[in-house]
Chains A and B, each alone.
Chain A
Amino acid sequence: MGCGTEPGKRNEMTETKEQLVAWLRDHTDAGNAPDTLEADCRNAVYLMDHAEISVTEANTFFIRITLGAAARTPIELRFAAFQDEAAKEGFGPGIRRRAYTGYYDFGHTATEWETVISLGVSGLRNRLSERLSLPGNDKKSIRFYTETLKVFDAAFSFMLRAADLFENEGKTEAAAGLRALTLRAPETLFEALQTVLVYYSLQQYFDGTILRTLGRPDRYLYPFYKKEDPEKAFSLLKAFMTEIDSIRADANMPIALGGSDVSGNDLFNDLSFALLKAYQESPNAHIKLHILWTKQTPDRILFEAFRGIRDGANSIVFMNDRRVIEAVEYVGASKEDATDYHVVGCYECGAAGEVTSSCTSRVNLPKVIEATLNDGCDMETGERIGLPVTGTFDTFEAFYEEFRKQLFYFVQCAARITDLRERHYAALHTAPVLSAVYRSSVEAGRDIYVDHAAKYNNSSLNAVGLATAVDSLAAIRKLVYEDRTLTVPDLAEILKNDWAGEETLRLTVKNRFPKFGNGDETVDRIAQRIVNDLAEAVDGRPNAKGGVYRLGLFSIDWRWRFGEFAAASADGRHKGEPLSQNTSAVFGMDREGATAHLRSVASLDTVKTPNGTIVDIDLHSSAVEGEAGLQALVGALKTYFELGGFAVHYNVLNTETLRDAKAHPEDYPNLQVRLCGWNVLFNTLSEKEKDEFIRRSEKG
């Protein structure tokens, strides 16, 4: 049916919601992958036909989409059939107590934007129909091409519907652009930007896969940018930023600038500058910008970026390009694919041609110590979450060895739980719009999720609470083995009782013991060791999709949720308090200042953490004022990267401003802070979180 349809004309009968839901129910059968594809394509077509569309002030290129009552078949419904598998294998207590977790993840991926822009939506469709007409297709690929073509045809109708709406609103350039794009590839900067928004929306709303990066627009838009008048181009870029911000993507939409080519040449160009400027001059609370730094990156762009950060109007992550490439190669990507990596989320990097599945598998590091101290059981409930302890605790080495055994076990549990989810991808979710771009997928006639048709099909495991765990091990070493103040059972008892009656000891440990994040090698070595052990357990471990696991060391907002279920820890932390954030020192424990903090984090072997590490540096605005302040920020950044750092982000906080913003939120509608993996408007934080930021700012 699909292959014979002219682009822009579609004869398919639309069905009612009831008919669709009944049909989907009958065709959403665990284990029947072709049905999943057909059901998802049919669902996508239905959504395109029924989604509400509107044009707001922010819509220059494409319309605003509201799915409303149309809705999509929830993946959760399909997953219900497998929901209890992990519990049946005995992982219930570990999952419930947040010792380790695993889930499926259909976000954290990138499309191949170069392909999207060079072929356009119509060219992508033509590629599919050409493939379908080739001899030698098997039944599965015929089905893939045919079903996906239906989605594209619905997309053309949808674009024409949008064009009509723009026409009615008097926005003729957008209307003409959309009509042209159903027939040919983009030819102007306007049409290229329009193509990005159209394709992003098709993926986001109709594939139902969240958080797709916009990749590296300073590369794929450059040929169009060069042809455009600079002033017109800049106003288009601003309109573009405004429009993508208005989508309000979950956890912000990533855009990366710079990076390098395979010969090591820096890729910053005049478009990178224009994009940074457009970003800074537009509403940007829902966009996150990654600056991919190389040794040749012009200082000017760093100065511009820091100027914005210091004004508190935006938030930018700096990534060490060389280090990221090494890390992505470390888990098996070719040099070319590693160099063309994409940042698919907060800090996660995937090779070109990779559907990166991140952020699902997690291990709670302080909980590993809890299990070590308590014979493999949760301190609160007594449930078994780890292995029974078999060794002795005679020396710190023996203690660490026992910790390491539990650590490997926790990793194994998290990976197994994830595998139990990921092995059902064939029954859970397809992504026709995204698959149509992936070269490997189109050539094979297979879906990237159902058939794992991407070139790399990796999974990621994040270890949460590194600094809390490091400080706890350092405290155990000092208390039990150096000062001999306590035995391991004494300490376990104290922690079970949440330091009750031991406030003096708790404060001593918290305030007077050495901590990670101060450039103290005796402590930093414990961190290095944990990272190396984690890498051994995680990196390269086969997953259920024909790919491998990769290690990450960031916590995002899980530091709160994992902390809630963790017993008191030996570093002086109370039961239930949040864990350390990302790869940073425990809040307030970076007593030696930012440079020492950066040195500690840079001492970790981040080649082994392709899923990302990140340190959060809080600075008081007075510490970085003036040109000297900017120079110091740029200098500190470059030094950190020269020392081997992976990524860093800065919060420049002003106590008075934050206090005033808390008291008078109406005066600060645009004040942003970096929460965990993304920036948020200060006003949207809870009172507790606001207070934490105010305390952090006082430290500087």
Chain B
Amino acid sequence: MTDMETKELAGIISGIKRMEIHDGSGIRTTVFFKGCSLKCVWCHNPESISYLPSLAFFREKCVQCGICRSVCTYDAIRFDASDERIDRTKCALCMECASHCPATALKAFGEKYTVDGLYEKVIEDLPFFESTGGGVTLSGGECLTQPGFAVAFAKKLFENGISADVDTCGAVPRETFERILPYTDTFLYDVKAVDPDVHQRCTGRSNEQILENLRFLDEAGAKIEVRYPLVVGWNDGECEKIAELLSGLSSVTGVKVLRYHNLAASRYEALGMENTLPEPKTTDEDVERARGVFERHGIRTFR
């Protein structure tokens, strides 16, 4: 890729979070890419699923000022008896309303960044990265579904000596991993299920490509930290199988068992999306039990 091409690349980013400690080592800035190749029932970042910009309406913040209606040129704002403010059949996602809403009740997810623009934004915390061995984590959504931008951004970080971690679900072409591998510090790699049917039921897709890519990264000697989101009633039966799979791999540094919660419910509603979140039945004890399974297979677990 030439410099010129890199300059013109645009990424769609749904959010940036600083002082993150759960997405890799040290203090990190996590960049949430928009768009995902899976559709997990338990997804806690629903605003990052669609590749298009998303418009959310947080009803409890609305002060009924009507500015949204006055700036909307698509007649997509409703003030009627219904709970919805946005007529999503008419909305063209121009985001005029969100950019004017005084109460931030209407909020747009999906801001365009150039590689340099995003880089300038994330290196503001450089002194904190340097003192803690931190850096930047590309997350999402699935960051690798914007392969050109993700690779260019990771490369930029790499060339400037900043650690870039890639938080991925693995459901992207192998070629993308080949391209981003040289610039990646650690892959935070989700393994949700080994059984293809269970995986299909949980995420809407088979896991064939995901497990192949995992093996590819393993053979390539990449640094991999596996994430296992534990959702009791959905994939808790997979723990033993995942442990067996991982014990056959050599580049996995360990596993982090993520406890499922349903705190994202209000965001599904705000985004006008069907809430697919399962009942939050996973307990701390379930997480401890799962960790025990991995430990018994000789796999280190992280908290």
* Interface residues in chain A, defined as those with a beta carbon under 8 Å from any beta carbon in chain B: 503-508, 511-512, 519, 592-596, 599, 623-629, 631-632, 635-636, 638-639, 642-643
Contact = CB atoms under 8 A, between A and B. Distances in A.
Interface in B126-145: 127-128, 130-132, 134
A632 B102 contact: no
Contacts of A635: 26-27, 128, 131-132, 134
B19 interface: yes
A503 B104 contact: no
Given A503-B65, A594-B19, 11 more contacts: A503-B102, A507-B65, A507-B102, A512-B102, A595-B27, A628-B303, A631-B132, A632-B19, A632-B132, A635-B128, A639-B130
A630 to B, nearest CB: 9
Contact of B19 (A507, A595, A627): A595
Given A511-B103, A599-B124, A628 B22 contact: yes
Contact of A519 (B26, B102, B124): B124
Contacts of A623: 19, 21
19 contacts: A503-B63, A508-B102, A592-B18, A593-B19, A594-B18, A594-B19, A595-B27, A595-B125, A624-B21, A626-B21, A628-B25, A632-B21, A632-B26, A635-B131, A635-B132, A635-B134, A638-B131, A639-B128, A639-B132
B92 interface: no
A30 to B, nearest CB: 56
B220 interface: no
Contacts of B52: none
B21 A511 contact: no
B7 interface: no
A596 B128 CA distance: 10
A646 B130 CA distance: 20
B17 interface: yes
B192 to A, nearest CB: 22
B94 interface: no
A247 to B, nearest CB: 38
- List the 7 closest A-B pairs by CB distance, nearest first: A635-B132, A507-B102, A593-B18, A508-B102, A632-B21, A639-B131, A626-B303
A592 B20 CA distance: 12
B66 to A, nearest CB: 9
Q: Is the interface of A mostly helix, strand, loop or mixed?
A: helix
Contacts of B131: 635, 638-639, 642
B104 A628 contact: no
A506 B102 CA distance: 8
The winner among A506, A592, A627, A632 for most chain B CB atoms within 10 A is A632
Interface of B: 17-19, 21-22, 25-27, 63, 65, 67, 102-104, 124-125, 127-128, 130-132, 134, 303
A584 to B, nearest CB: 16
Contacts of A505: 102
Nearest to A643: B127
A391 B18 CA distance: 43
B127 A639 contact: yes
Given A629-B21, A632-B26, A511 B102 contact: yes
A631 B131 CA distance: 10
A599 B128 CA distance: 10
B72 to A, nearest CB: 16
Contact of A628 (B21, B67, B124): B21
Given A632-B26, A638-B131, A639-B127, A504 B102 contact: yes
B124 A632 contact: no
Nearest to B24: A628
A596 B122 CA distance: 11
Contacts of A508: 102
A528 to B, nearest CB: 17
B189 to A, nearest CB: 18
Contacts of B303: 625-628
Contacts of A624: 21
Contacts of B27: 595, 632, 635-636
B164 to A, nearest CB: 18
Contacts of B132: 631-632, 635-636, 639
Contacts of B134: 635
A595 B21 contact: no
A309 to B, nearest CB: 16
A698 to B, nearest CB: 12
B116 to A, nearest CB: 18
Contacts of B18: 592-596
Contacts of A512: 102, 104
Contacts of B21: 623-624, 626, 628-629, 631-632
A561 B301 CA distance: 51
A638 B102 CA distance: 37
Nearest to B126: A639
Contacts of B67: 504
Contacts of B63: 503-504, 507
A595 B132 CA distance: 12
Contacts of A625: 303
A617 to B, nearest CB: 10
Contacts of A639: 127-128, 130-132
Contacts of B127: 599, 639, 642-643
Contacts of A632: 19, 21, 26-27, 132
The winner among A512, A594, A629, A635 for most chain B CB atoms within 10 A is A635
B102 A636 contact: no
A507 B125 contact: no
Contacts of A594: 18-19
A592 B125 CA distance: 11
Contacts of B103: 507, 511
Contacts of B19: 593-595, 623, 632, 636
